[in-house]
Structure 1
Amino acid sequence: MRPFPPRRLQVHARADTGTTPEEAVAAATARHSYAVADGNNLQLTATPPRKIALLVEPSPFTHTSGYSNRFKNLILQLRQAGDDVLVVVPDNDPNAPTEFAGATIVNVPGFRFPLYRRITLTLGLRGVYRALKQFDPDVIHLTTPGFLIFSTLLYARLLRKAILLSYHTHLPIYAKDYGLGTFQGVIWTMLRLQHNRADFTLTTSPQLCEELVENGFERVGLWRKGIDTHIFNPKYKCANMRHQLTQGNPQDPLLIYVGRIGAEKNLIFFKQLMARFPHCRLALVGDGPYKHTLQKELAGTKTVFTGILHGETLSRAFASADVFVMPSESETLGFVVLESMASGVPVVGADAGGIPDIINDGENGFLFSRGSHDECANRVERLLGDGELRARMGQNARDEALKWSWRASAAATRNVGYGRAISNFKYRAMGGLGLPRSLTWLRWIRVKLAMLKQRLFGRLLVGLNAH
C-alpha cells in the first residue's frame, strides 16, 4: 500500500548541502517525534503537578494485556509526582476496583467485543463526559484504537481540554491477519482522521513512529519503554517450574512464548518450528481466541498450554526457559520481549514492528526476517547448541533491560508528552481563545465575512449578466 502523503510533513532534499531524500525523510520524521534522552526530562518532578485523566480501554485492572503493567506503573509514578489522577475504564465487573495508588477509578458500562469476548469496550455515552467535567483535567490521555475515541474527541473539544492519544494496537496489521486486508486503506484513513484531531500522539517504537508519520499522522512522539527488573529477574529461575513446563522432562531444551494467543500473533509459526526440533519442549503462556485452533495444529508435539499466569508464577516461567521465541510481526513494542530479557532469557524475534528497537541482533538476542521459518530455526538451533552463547546473550539482555525504568518512562510521558499535548492545544486553539478546528467566535466571524463576500460577488455577477 502506498503511504498517504502527510499534510504537514515537509520533506526537501537540498542539492547545496548534499542532503539525500532518505536523509530528508529521517530529519522530517525526527521533527515530528521527541527525544527523551534529556536528563531534565527524565526527572519525575521536572514539571509542576497536573490533573491527568486517563481513559484506558480495555481496563488494565481486570484484563490482562500488554499494556496493563505500563498503565499501572504510570499511575504509580504520576501519583508520586503529585499529580491528581482520574482513571476511566469500561468495566461491568461488580468487583472492579474504584481506587488504585490514590487515583480514582470510574467504571463505566461497556460491552463484550464479539471477536474477543474477554475484553470490555465502550462507546462512552454514559458516565464519561460527567466524570471528565467534574474532574476538570489539564490533559486527557486516551488509549487507541478503540470505540471510546469517537465520544472522547468530542468531549475534549466541548470541555476545551488538551487530548493525547497513545497508540497500542497496530490495527492495519491485525486486519490483515484476520483476513480483512482489503480494508487496510480504510483503517489507515480512519486512524489518521482520529489521531489528527488530537493534540499529540504517543506510540511505542521509533519504527512505528516513522510508519505513522509516513501515513499522514501529525504530532507523533515516542513513548519511552519501561520494565520492572525486580519482578522479571533471573533469580526466579526455578527447577519446579521447569519440571512443570517440560511435563517432567527438565533436561529437554525449553522454548517459551508469553502473550495473547491470537491469529495476529503468527503463532502458527510454531508448527514448523516444532517439526524442526521434535526433541524440544514448548510452553505457551497466555490465552486467546486462537488457542483451540493452535492446540489442534500442535497436537502430537511436546507443547504445553499453561493459560494465563500472574505474579511470581509468571516470573518463574520466564526465567526457567532457555529461549523466548516471538514470531509476531504486529508488536507495537513487545513488552513480553523486554520481560524475557529482564529475566536473563535471550529472545529470537521477528524483525518487525517495535521488536528491532529492543533486540540488538547478535548481541542480546537474534532477529529473523519476516516469515522466515528457516532463519528463526537456525537462530534457535544456535542458541540451544551453545550454552556459553546463550548465557552471554542472556546477561546482555538483562543489562539492556536495566536501562529502562518505569520512573524514567513516566517522567518522559508527563514532562514531554503531556507538555507537548497542552502546548499544541493552546497553539491550535489560537492562544486558548477558541477550540481547534471548531466553530469558535473568531472562525464564526471569518465564515460570516466569507459568506457576505460570496453573496456580494454573486449579486455583482447577476448585475453584469443583466447588462
Structure 2
Amino acid sequence: MKIAIVTETFLPSTDGVVTRLTASIRYLLREGHDVRIIAPDLGVYEFEGARIDGVPARTLPFYRSKQFALPNSIVKKQLSEFDPDIVHVVNPAILGLSGVYYAKKLKLPLIASYHTNVATYLDYYHLSLFKGLIWWYFRKLYNNAALNLATSQTVQKELMNRGFFNVHVWKRGVDTEMFTPDQFDTEMRARLSNGHPEKKLLLFVGRLAPEKEIEKIKSVLEESDEFVLAIVGDGPHRQALEKHFNGTNTVFTGYMHGEELAKAYASSDVFVFPSTTETLGLVIMEAMASGLPLVAAKSGPTCEQIEDNYNGLLYDPENPVDFTATVRQFEDETLRKRLAQAAHKDVSEMGWEGQSKQLLHFYEEVTDLDGNNDKANVT
C-alpha cells in the first residue's frame, strides 16, 4: 500500500505526535508498505527509507519557538506524483488544510487524526473568544475524512459531541525497550538533582508552555525541603519559568532524546504532570514504563491511564492546595515504591506494535470502502 502522511510536525522536532508517527512509520515500512511524509521543511528529507517532502516553513508571530508550514499548493504536486492509496492528515490545522483539500480534490481516500486540544489552549493565551470559531474550523476539516482518530475515549466523546463524524480511538503505545527502570544512572541523577541525589527527585518532561501549568510545582519545593525538581524540555515559556523557579532547587536541562531521556526518567523518583489539557500524554506512559509513579490532574485522558493510589496519585485541579498536598504524600517511600511497581507493570507489555497494527487496519478499512464506492457508509 502507498501511504501519504501529511503532518504539521515531524523530525527533527520531537513531541508526542512525532514519537507516535515515527513508531507507526517504522512498522509500516517493516510490513512492506511505501510511506511518503509531507511535512514542514526543517532540513530532514528521509526517515529510515521513507522520503520526506518538505513544505517551506517559517515562524509565526504567536509561536516564535517553532516553525510551521502554511497552506501551499505544492502539496497537490507532491500527492499527485506519489499517487497514494490513502492520505493520513495528522492534526490538520495549517499545512493540514492543504492535505485535506488536495486529498479531496484528487479523490484520494482520507483519514485524519486529532492530537492537540487547540481550542482549550486558547484559554491560556487570553483568546477564549475564538474557541467557537476554532471548533467550527476543525469540524469542517475533519468531516472531510472518511474516518477520524482520537487518542483517548474522552477526546473521542468530545469530538462526537461537537459534531465530528466517525471518530475511533487510536490505541496507546510506548517504547518499552527504551524506557525501563534499568536505565537508572547515578551521574544523571546527580545532574538532575543539582548534586542532591539523596532527595526525592521530581521530574517534568514536555513542551514548556503556559497550558502545561508547570508553575504549580514550585509550591512543593517551597513547603518541603525533601524534594528537588528537574524540568526536561523547552518552549516559549522557558524564560518565564526560569524566573518563576529562581531561588528553588530546580534544574532546567533543555530537550533530551533517546537514551539520555530514558536515563532521566529512570533516575528520578516521581513524575509530575499538572496539565489538564492533554489529549493523551505520551510522557505519562514513558514515565510509567521507566518505573515512576505519577502525580497528575483528574482529567479525562489522564484518568484513562492513571488509577488513583494504584499506579499514581490524582489531584483536584479545582482545589489550589491539592497539588502540593498530593505530591507530598511521596515523602512516604513505601507508598512511592508500591505505586512505582504498579506503574511499570501496567505498561511493561505495551510497546508500539498494537497501535501500529490498528492504524494499518484503519487504512485498509478506508481503502476497501473507497474501492467499493461506499466511503460515506463508514461507521
The TM-score with structure 2 as length reference comes to: 0.94
Which residue identity is paired with 1:402? S
Q: Using a 3 Å threshold, how does the CA distance of structure 1 residues 420 and 91 change in structure 2: closer, same or farther?
A: same
Residues 256-311 of structure 1: CA deviation (Å, up to 9, x unaligned): 10000000111121232322224420110000111111111111111111111122
1:51 has 2:7 as partner: no
CA distance, structure 2, for counterparts of residue 103 and residue 129 of structure 1: 19
Q: Which position in structure 2 is the counterpart of 1:401? A: 347
Q: What SS does structure 2 have at the residue aligned with 1:218?
A: coil
* 8 Å contact kept, 1:341–1:401: yes
Residue in structure 1 matching 2:60, options 109, 113, 130: 113
Q: How many Å apart are 1:380 and its aligned residue?
A: 1.6
Q: Which position in structure 2 is the counterpart of 1:292? A: 239
Superposed counterparts of 1:22-37, under 5 Å: none
Q: How many Å apart are 1:160 and its aligned residue?
A: 0.8
CA distance, structure 2, for counterparts of residue 271 and residue 281 of structure 1: 10
CA distance, structure 2, for counterparts of residue 195 and residue 170 of structure 1: 14
Q: What SS does structure 2 have at the residue aligned with 1:295?
A: helix
* 8 Å contact kept, 2:12–2:42: no
Q: What SS does structure 2 have at the residue aligned with 1:231?
A: coil
Q: How many Å apart are 1:123 and its aligned residue?
A: 2.6
Residue in structure 2 matching 1:335, options 239, 259, 282: 282
Superposed counterparts of 1:336-355, under 5 Å: 336-355=283-302
Which residue identity is paired with 2:264? A
Q: What SS does structure 2 have at the residue aligned with 1:67?
A: helix
Q: Which position in structure 2 is the counterpart of 1:130? A: 77
CA distance, structure 1, for counterparts of residue 8 and residue 360 of structure 2: 20
Q: What SS does structure 2 have at the residue aligned with 1:64?
A: coil
Number of aligned positions between the proteins: 377
Q: How many Å apart are 1:330 and its aligned residue?
A: 0.8
1:419 has 2:369 as partner: no
Runs of 4+ in 1 over 3 A off after TM superposition: 419-427
CA distance, structure 2, for counterparts of residue 135 and residue 365 of structure 1: 46
Q: How many Å apart are 1:379 and its aligned residue?
A: 2.4
Higher strand share: 2
Larger Rg: 1
The TM-score with structure 1 as length reference comes to: 0.77
CA distance, structure 2, for counterparts of residue 391 and residue 338 of structure 1: 17
Structure 2 unmatched runs, 5+: none
Q: What SS does structure 1 have at the residue aligned with 2:313?
A: strand
Q: Using a 3 Å threshold, how does the CA distance of structure 1 residues 370 and 63 change in structure 2: closer, same or farther?
A: same
CA distance, structure 1, for counterparts of residue 16 and residue 320 of structure 2: 25
CA distance, structure 1, for counterparts of residue 137 and residue 157 of structure 2: 18
Q: Using a 3 Å threshold, how does the CA distance of structure 1 residues 388 and 200 change in structure 2: closer, same or farther?
A: same
Residues 402-437 of structure 1: CA deviation (Å, up to 9, x unaligned): 23221111001111x22343356567xx548xx99x
1:155 has 2:102 as partner: yes
Q: How many Å apart are 1:83 and its aligned residue?
A: 1.0
CA distance, structure 2, for counterparts of residue 198 and residue 123 of structure 1: 20
Residues 109-158 of structure 1: CA deviation (Å, up to 9, x unaligned): 12223333332222342432111111111110111142012222221122
Q: What SS does structure 1 have at the residue aligned with 2:214?
A: coil
Which residue identity is paired with 1:329? T
Q: How many Å apart are 1:383 and its aligned residue?
A: 2.1
Q: Which position in structure 2 is the counterpart of 1:208? A: 155
* 8 Å contact kept, 2:217–2:324: no
Q: Which position in structure 1 is the counterpart of 2:258? A: 311
Which residue identity is paired with 2:21? F
Residues 227-278 of structure 1: CA deviation (Å, up to 9, x unaligned): 0111111011111111111111111111110000000111121232322224
* 8 Å contact kept, 2:317–2:323: no
* 8 Å contact kept, 1:278–1:302: no
Structure 1 unmatched runs, 5+: 1-49, 437-467
Q: Which position in structure 1 is the counterpart of 2:187? A: 240
* 8 Å contact kept, 2:55–2:72: no
Q: How many Å apart are 1:327 and its aligned residue?
A: 0.3
Residue in structure 2 matching 1:320, options 261, 267, 270: 267
CA distance, structure 1, for counterparts of residue 319 and residue 231 of structure 2: 20
CA distance, structure 2, for counterparts of residue 286 and residue 268 of structure 1: 14
Q: What SS does structure 2 have at the residue aligned with 1:344?
A: coil
CA distance, structure 1, for counterparts of residue 300 and residue 67 of structure 2: 26
Q: Using a 3 Å threshold, how does the CA distance of structure 1 residues 65 and 410 change in structure 2: closer, same or farther?
A: same
* 8 Å contact kept, 1:109–1:126: no
* 8 Å contact kept, 1:199–1:424: no
Q: Which position in structure 1 is the counterpart of 2:32? A: 82
Which residue identity is paired with 2:321? D
Q: What SS does structure 2 have at the residue aligned with 1:264?
A: helix
